[in-house]
């Protein structure tokens, strides 16, 4: 796509600014997306048998330039049908499957009929359906369903697809399922993949990637036991009592690409409103567990903070409403995003100063922007939503009140806050420690679903946050903010690729950053610069000869500053392009050198070893080691005393 100049982008952003759109009851006027995949769904939940019976009518339009002779559907829940799915096989690489699985714990999704209506009359394709495994040819995987069309659907063709199915709600797995009376129903309906000019983009369900679908209108009628509060994507439009002790709630939302819902008789409902002068107001609805009743305001505060800062930095949240679900204990549904609905996640004991629930609410609210509004392909480029959002989340957390390191004890129930350790953005919120351990495990440009499952998240979340924050410290926040806001505005309600992002970054920065993206995105090399030598000795003439050797220990390169500080307070800063393996700087001064630092401003946050970045001729290493070994010794003494109970 041809890049627009920045001023043109700004004009465009005003022209399509969501804040200028009217939204009432889930309707968005004028439309924000192409709405080429719309779903009208009727679903009935039987909590006793944990079964859902449903039917849907999909109105799909071919918006590509090619004809297509089949349809492809995601049937996510079949990933948990048995242990042979690709999802289960990948998950088994990371963790041992639960030993206590019972037959009713599994999920399943069985299509009972599928009819397609195109230019001719309806055609029943039920008997022609077959499962395919485009990613790994796993014949046992049943998460992608292929329906051959009776005749090819050319560009612009509209098809109406009627699907009926039954599904079994699993014991919680991957943010979906039921525990007790809490039901969280996500990834639950047969959903079309995305048809691109290159063909269907409809990946199997993998252990560490989740979404990609077209925008449309969702009109969903959910039948649940009477009196059970429901939270769902969109806005409730109708509530109808049935004669069988159930009631049907209709939720409606335009310009979204997914739909999730939840119900539980225990949920408490709280409401609040986000208002800010330059942003559209948002009605906040919180479905809260009774044991967390006192934490309602913490949830709202997180959502308000994210809506305000993301809104100011990137663009406004257009939908006017947001539902926050506080999931049940052991539901595994916490920390997840769906259009206009997020799940938070808190604990019964959550003292002030700990990160959650605010952090998780901020992160998931942030996904309304990067995932919900900018519809990148999470199967292939998970960093474009998770990574960018982690970067922004870290920035938001840094702007909030102090948060401290905490640890949970006694089976993970009892928290303790270490007030000496304030969590900072550069290391903690960007999750540097996790990245350090996984830095070379995968190139980020590898399709995300092919990442090694145990470390994929670290490449997706942590590395992106670090390289974006590095860009911020290198090019300045205005450049990164404009890059992200331009990306947000230009690609809202569309499907951007990584190249689209890089083009915008180059354009906004006014320079070619490809060498940087080649390393952080297309490569898996690590950055590690350090001071190898610092010598400063009298030369006999009343002056001191100082030698500083800075070395590139990692394979990746980045220009860095090298600062030498002398005893008289003088500082000399050199700029090194960082390409050679080492560089020598020699100074003749009247004062002796005190310190030498590579990258003293800590621009390169991807540097995996910060300790070697500096040297001083007045080292405190011994003193620090004494202090910390004494603290550790007390821990050990206490540890020994706990064992002495055996004697």
Partner 1 sequence: MTPVQAWRDGLRRVAAAPSIIVGVWVMTSLISLPLALSLRGDLARHLGSSLAADAAASGVNYEWMQEFTDQASGIGLTFRPTILGFGAVLDNLSAFVDNTARPVLIVGAAAAYMAFWLFAAGGIIDRYARDRVTGVHGFFSASGVFFFRFLRLAIVMFVVYGLLFGYVHPWLFDRLYPRLVRSVDVERVAFSIRAGLYLAFGLVLGGCNLIFDYAKVRAVVEDRRSALGALVSGVRFVRRNPGATITLYALDVALFAATLAAYAVAAPGAGGAGWSMWIGFGIAQLYILARLCVKLIFWASETALFQGRLAHAGYVAAPQLAWPDSPTAEALQR
Scanning residues 525 to 544, which ones bind partner 1 (CB under 8 A)? Answer: 534
Sole window of 148-156, 191-199, 231-239, 626-634 interacting with partner 1 (rule: CB under 8 A):
626-634
627 binds partner 1 (CB under 8 A): yes
Q: How far apart are CA 246 and CA 223, in angstroms?
A: 6
617 binds partner 1 (CB under 8 A): yes
Neighbouring C-alpha atoms within 13 Å toward the C-beta of 224: 22
**Of residues 435-474, those binding partner 1 (CB under 8 A):** 436-437
The set of residues, in sequence order, having a beta carbon less than 8 Å from that of 110 and lying 6+ positions away, is: 165, 166, 167
Is the distance from CB of 97 to CB of 83 less than 8 angstroms? yes
629 binds partner 1 (CB under 8 A): yes
Nearer residue to partner 1 within complex by CB, 257 or 552: 552
48 binds partner 1 (CB under 8 A): no
> What phi, psi does 591 have (nearest 5°)?
-110, 150
Q: Which of 1, 152, 414, 586 binds partner 1 (CB under 8 A)?
A: 414
Nearer residue to partner 1 within complex by CB, 182 or 215: 182
Residue with tokens 């990609």: 212
Nearest CA to 267 among 246, 291, 283?
291
609 binds partner 1 (CB under 8 A): yes
Neighbouring C-alpha atoms within 13 Å toward the C-beta of 209: 31
195 binds partner 1 (CB under 8 A): no
Q: Which of 253, 331, 381, 469 binds partner 1 (CB under 8 A)?
A: 331
Is the distance from CB of 592 to CB of 544 less than 8 angstroms? yes
Q: Which stretch of DSSP H or E encloses residue 624?
A: helix 621-643
Q: Which of 182, 200, 313, 587 binds partner 1 (CB under 8 A)?
A: 182
**Of residues 575-594, those binding partner 1 (CB under 8 A):** none
288 binds partner 1 (CB under 8 A): no
553 binds partner 1 (CB under 8 A): no
Nearer residue to partner 1 within complex by CB, 22 or 433: 433
Token pair of 426, please?
A: 């550069």
Is the distance from CB of 429 to CB of 462 less than 8 angstroms? no
Q: Which of 291, 325, 475, 538 binds partner 1 (CB under 8 A)?
A: 291
564 binds partner 1 (CB under 8 A): no
Strand 614-616's sheet: what is its strand order? 571-576, 560-566, 593-598, 614-616
Q: How far apart are CA 397 and CA 402, in angstroms?
A: 8
**Of residues 477-536, those binding partner 1 (CB under 8 A):** 534
Sole window of 122-130, 253-261, 542-550, 620-628 interacting with partner 1 (rule: CB under 8 A):
620-628
What residue spans of 175-295 are helical by DSSP H?
A: none
Q: Which stretch of DSSP H or E encloses residue 88?
A: helix 86-94
In the complex, minimum distance from the CB of residue 382 to partner 1, in angstroms, rounded to a whole number: 24
Q: Which of 24, 48, 100, 278 binds partner 1 (CB under 8 A)?
A: 100
The set of residues, in sequence order, having a beta carbon less than 8 Å from that of 610 and lying 6+ positions away, is: 602
In the complex, minimum distance from the CB of residue 483 to partner 1, in angstroms, rounded to a whole number: 27
268 binds partner 1 (CB under 8 A): no
Q: How far apart are CA 384 and CA 373, in angstroms?
A: 12
Q: Where are the beta strands (DSSP E) in 332-475?
A: 336-338, 341-343, 404-409, 414-422
Q: Which of 210, 214, 255, 610 binds partner 1 (CB under 8 A)?
A: 610
Q: Which of 409, 542, 569, 581 binds partner 1 (CB under 8 A)?
A: 409
Q: Which of 411, 541, 542, 569 binds partner 1 (CB under 8 A)?
A: 411
Q: Which of 6, 329, 452, 585 binds partner 1 (CB under 8 A)?
A: 329
Q: Which of 3, 179, 572, 591 binds partner 1 (CB under 8 A)?
A: 179
570 binds partner 1 (CB under 8 A): no
Nearer residue to partner 1 within complex by CB, 41 or 267: 267
In the complex, minimum distance from the CB of residue 222 to partner 1, in angstroms, rounded to a whole number: 20
Sole window of 405-413, 490-498, 503-511, 520-528 interacting with partner 1 (rule: CB under 8 A):
405-413
| CA 206 vs CA 110, 448, 466: distances in Å | 19, 9, 25
Q: How far apart are CA 579 and CA 508, in angstroms?
A: 25
In the complex, minimum distance from the CB of residue 179 to partner 1, in angstroms, rounded to a whole number: 5
294 binds partner 1 (CB under 8 A): no
In the complex, minimum distance from the CB of residue 330 to partner 1, in angstroms, rounded to a whole number: 6
In the complex, minimum distance from the CB of residue 549 to partner 1, in angstroms, rounded to a whole number: 13
In the complex, minimum distance from the CB of residue 286 to partner 1, in angstroms, rounded to a whole number: 18
DSSP class of 4:
P
Q: How far apart are CA 18 and CA 37, in angstroms?
A: 21
Tell me the sheet residues that pair with 550: 531, 583
Contacts 24+ apart (CB under 8 A), 98-103: 101/171, 102/171
559 binds partner 1 (CB under 8 A): no
Nearest CA to 520 among 459, 584, 582?
459
């Amino acid at each position: 796509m041809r890049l627009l100049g920045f001023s043109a982008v700004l004009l465009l952003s005003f022209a399509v600014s969501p804040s200028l759109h009217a939204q009432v009851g889930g309707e968005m006027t004028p439309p924000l997306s192409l709405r080429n995949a719309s779903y009208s769904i009727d679903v009935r939940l039987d909590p006793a048998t944990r079964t859902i019976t449903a039917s849907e009518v999909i109105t799909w339009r071919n918006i590509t330039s090619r004809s297509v002779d089949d349809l492809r559907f995601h049937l996510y829940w079949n990933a948990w049908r048995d242990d042979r799915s690709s999802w289960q096989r990948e998950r088994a690489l990371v963790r041992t499957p639960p030993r206590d699985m019972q037959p009713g714990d599994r999920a399943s999704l069985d299509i009972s009929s599928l009819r397609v209506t195109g230019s001719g009359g309806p055609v029943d394709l039920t008997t022609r359906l077959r499962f395919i495994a485009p990613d790994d040819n796993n014949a046992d995987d049943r998460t992608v369903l292929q329906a051959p069309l009776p005749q090819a659907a050319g560009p612009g063709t509209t098809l109406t697809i009627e699907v009926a199915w039954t599904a079994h709600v699993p014991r919680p797995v991957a943010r979906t399922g039921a525990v007790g009376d809490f039901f969280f129903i996500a990834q639950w309906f047969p959903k079309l993949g995305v048809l691109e000019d290159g063909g269907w983009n409809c990946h199997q369900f993998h252990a560490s990637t989740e979404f990609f679908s077209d925008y449309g209108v969702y009109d969903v009628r959910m039948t649940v036991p009477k009196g059970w509060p429901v939270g769902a994507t969109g806005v409730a439009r109708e509530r109808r009592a049935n004669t069988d002790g159930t009631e049907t709630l209709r939720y409606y939302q335009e310009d979204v690409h997914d739909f999730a819902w939840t119900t539980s008789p225990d949920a408490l409902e709280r409401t609040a409103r986000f208002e800010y002068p330059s942003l559209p107001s948002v009605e906040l609805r919180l479905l809260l567990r009774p044991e967390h009743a006192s934490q309602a305001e913490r949830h709202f505060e997180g959502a308000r903070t994210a809506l305000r800062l993301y809104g100011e930095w990137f663009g406004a949240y257009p939908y006017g409403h947001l539902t926050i679900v506080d999931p049940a204990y052991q539901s595994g549904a916490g920390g997840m995003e769906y259009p206009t609905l997020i799940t938070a996640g808190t604990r019964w004991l959550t003292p002030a100063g700990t990160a959650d629930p605010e952090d998780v609410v901020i992160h998931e609210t942030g996904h309304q922007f990067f995932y919900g509004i900018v519809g990148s392909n999470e199967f292939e480029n998970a960093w474009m939503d998770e990574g960018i959002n982690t970067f922004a989340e870290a920035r938001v957390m840094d702007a909030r009140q102090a948060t401290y390191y905490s640890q949970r004890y006694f089976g993970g129930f009892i928290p303790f806050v270490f007030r000496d350790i304030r969590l900072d953005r550069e290391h903690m919120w960007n999750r540097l420690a996790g990245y350090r351990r996984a830095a070379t495990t995968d190139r980020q440009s590898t399709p995300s679903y092919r990442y090694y499952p145990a470390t994929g998240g670290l490449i997706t979340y942590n590395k992106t946050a670090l390289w974006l924050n590095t860009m911020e410290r290198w090019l300045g926040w205005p450049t990164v903010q404009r890059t992200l806001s331009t990306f947000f505005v230009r690609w809202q309600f569309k499907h951007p690729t990584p190249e689209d992002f890089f083009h915008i970054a180059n354009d906004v920065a006014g320079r070619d950053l490809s060498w940087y993206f080649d390393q952080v995105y297309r490569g898996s090399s690590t950055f590690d610069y350090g001071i190898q030598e610092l010598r400063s000795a009298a030369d006999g003439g009343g002056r001191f000869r100082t030698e500083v050797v800075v070395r590139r220990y990692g394979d990746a390169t980045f220009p860095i500053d090298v600062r030498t500080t002398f005893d008289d307070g003088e500082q000399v800063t050199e700029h090194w392009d960082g390409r050679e393996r080492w560089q020598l700087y020699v100074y003749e001064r009247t004062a002796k050198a005190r310190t030498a630092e590579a990258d003293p401003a800590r621009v390169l946050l991807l540097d995996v070893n910060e300790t070697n970045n500096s040297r001083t001729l007045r080292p405190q290493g011994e003193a620090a080691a004494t202090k910390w070994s004494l603290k550790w010794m007390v821990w050990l003494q206490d540890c020994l005393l706990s064992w002495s109970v055996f004697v």
